[in-house]
Structure 1
């Protein structure tokens, strides 16, 4: 049970907290023993600072290398064939919209096909998909093939692999059901697979586009997610693409060279992040992948906390599974320069931020109550070391992401619009704080659980489609809720102990953490209609 680990840790430290509130000073602050013990106990914070530094390097490095737009090549006289794959499962609210958008893509006649990979089990949704395919093909003349399997073996990866064997197209574009590509998507993206002289660049396997947003202003949750996507895509992926010639496929809004997929063995359901797993196999095979930020494909952000938590659980769990599969190869067997290897290891192991933060936020109150923290040297030392790095990182990421993603939003980039988007930093920090025990539980499940876990789809509301059908419910994972309640209770007791000792600023921090976790636990556990 992944939540049990956090509960045991919190319960044990809670006991120590209660015992350690005596006024007896058992070690002299500033002594050699104090410095040694305090430094050792701050190792989780050292890990966090190292991860924050790596992230800051990427964001600042964006202005050095990532900001420059990669030039497209020249298309050959005979355009290549393209197959657009649309994997979906019970996507009643958005299926027709993405099918219409895919068939409306501008591409020479006879060179474009659309595959609808529908694993739906809901009879009404299956009928809707059939009608949407027939209507779109009749309206546009683009062949729209509906492929269905007898079982969901391999989930999304299995559907994509089954569809891959049914097409001989040179390029495969993949779009999740909640994405709405602009009509010129292929016209703008395919040229990147060619050189300026019109010859194919066979070493390039993937062109990944920027995610846009259809509902970024709907709620505090969608605003927080929009900031994360803007930061991760525009800043991080642009820099990784320019500096290291590698970005991971994000599962959608990307175009693959079909031969490249075939050469590394095709799609595998080896983890819950089949897109990233395929990307790293291409890395090991010597292929390059690139990110083009000026090509924006709008998408629907999860509109409910239950849907968002299900998505994050799958991503975090899958990333840890990916490490179990490919970390030894990346660390020891993949041949590359050490700076590139170091960054790729940082890239793959970024999910270790969650256990680092979970351990640190449960350990820090114990250190404070026992005067084993640097705040004993003065308020400036405490604030500067414990608050400033994370606050500076969040503010830097928020400002840079807001200023550099003006092209992803409709309308003019006025000062008022930019100022409003800057306020997204507040819900971004609050949501991430509230998600901490949930993400830690997902990390533990990915590390100790089976590799072949169930793929839980993220429900889509179909914003702007006029649908009135209820959104599918998300299963509530009780161990995760148990971990959230235990962690919030621990922080609440720590806040009370801080008040008893006159540490009011520390009490405020613990109370805010408990409030964020409890709020997200409640909102994420509500049964949606």
Structure 2
């Protein structure tokens, strides 16, 4: 994001290629394979607009996830076979390009929670729950540590004020798991799709009304699936409390909030934009004149 590349760098790396949805990611890897070095300027700020519409956010995340896997399929064989690259660079490239597989693994884990809790309770394996809780806690703490260190690095001395957003970030990351897993499978199966730009609304203050702007983003059935999964985890939470697996409750609350928030907000934002578009169309002077003449 906000990268500046020399023309000679782009040309020597093979130019812009359009076989992935993340052309910049693809080009940056090809450039590094050609020996070019990148310099990260931490203190050089570049203004950008974050998506204010949940559907736009999911569309952006879908494109990035799918594009990263497409780039991995295309570039990783070259990286892994490059004798001049150290093992540490190859491992880092794998983690970077294949990171979106975590969403698929997360969905598998979540789908197993209910049957596992049922069988453990039925067979009296409560002791195993504590071991499992230890593993889950260790994984969760590593993610929390990542967010905390990032917050401290970005916000400096006032970083503690932003810690309240860490649980919400984790919940949101869970909520888009279905959306991003879909992107991963599309990339693996070689399904081609158009480059959908992230809608921009030129929002600069809280008072700006982005719902009447011209950009639109499509709604998909994934929103209903996310909402359904969130409701199922409400039942899972109730079941966990009923059988006494209290240690699971905080994780289950994050999961259900993430899916319900993502799915419900997608539906609400989509409906609001449709209504705003209709009202904007009706309010046009030409149309109002036609209505008065009826």
The TM tier, using the shorter chain, reads 0.7 to 0.9
Counterpart in the other structure of 1:384: 134
Bigger fraction of residues in strand: 1
Q: 1:477 matched to which residue of 2?
A: 220
1:119-138, CA deviations, whole angstroms, 9 ceiling, x for partnerless residues?
xxxxxxxxxxxxxxxxxxxx
The residue number in structure 2 matching 1:418 is 159
Asked if 1:459 corresponds to 2:209, the answer is no
Residue equivalent to 2:236: 494
Structure 1: gaps (5+ residues): 1-249, 408-412
Aligned twin of 1:136: none
- 1:432 aligned residue (173, 176, 182): 173
Count how many residue pairs are aligned between Structure 1 and Structure 2.
267
1:34-433 matched pairs, under 5 angstroms:
250=1, 253-333=2-82, 335-371=84-120, 376-377=126-127, 380-390=130-140, 392-406=141-155, 413=157, 417-433=158-174
Give 1:512 shift: 4.4
Measure the CA separation in 1 of the matches of 2:83 and 2:199: 38
**Are 2:260 and 1:518 equivalent residues in the alignment?**
yes
SS at the partner of 1:262?
A: helix
Deviation at 1:331, TM superposition (A): 2.4
The alpha-carbon distance between structure 1 residues 424 and 515, as it changes in their structure 2 partners (threshold 3 A), is closer
Q: Matches of 1:494 and 1:423 in 2, distance apart? A: 25
- Secondary structure, in 3 states, of the residue corresponding to 2:5? strand
Instruction: State the 1:429 CA deviation.
Output: 1.4
1:312 shift after superposition: 0.7
The separation in 2 between residues aligned to 1:495 and 1:481, in whole angstroms, is 21
Secondary structure at 2:216's aligned position in 1? Answer: coil
**How far is the alpha carbon of 1:329 from its aligned partner?**
1.9
Contact 1:498 1:506 in 2 (8 A): yes
Aligned-pair CA distance for 1:464? 2.7
CA RMSD of aligned residues (A): 2.8
| CA shift in 2, pair 1:490/1:379, >3 Å | closer
- Return closer, same or farther for 1:378/1:264 CA change in 2, 3 Å cut-off: closer
2:245 alignment partner in structure 1: 503
How many angstroms apart in 2 are the aligned matches of 1:312 and 1:265?
26
Q: Is the 8 A contact 1:495 1:508 kept in 2?
A: no
Give the number of the structure whose alpha-carbon radius of gyration is greater.
1
CA distance in 1, matches of 2:29, 2:91: 15
Structure 2 unaligned spans of 5+ = 277-294
Tell me the TM-score normalised to structure 1 length. 0.46
- CA contact under 8 A between 2:133 and 2:247: conserved in structure 1? no
CA gap 1:294/1:402 in 2 versus in 1, 3 angstroms:
same
8 Å CA contact 1:310–1:458 kept in 2: the answer is yes
Cα-to-partner distance string for 1:315-347 (whole Å, 9 max, x where unaligned): 111111112222222223464122221222222
Cα-to-partner distance string for 1:125-164 (whole Å, 9 max, x where unaligned): xxxxxxxxxxxxxxxxxxxxxxxxxxxxxxxxxxxxxxxx
Supply the distance in 1 between the matched residues of 2:234 and 2:204 (Cα, whole angstroms): 41
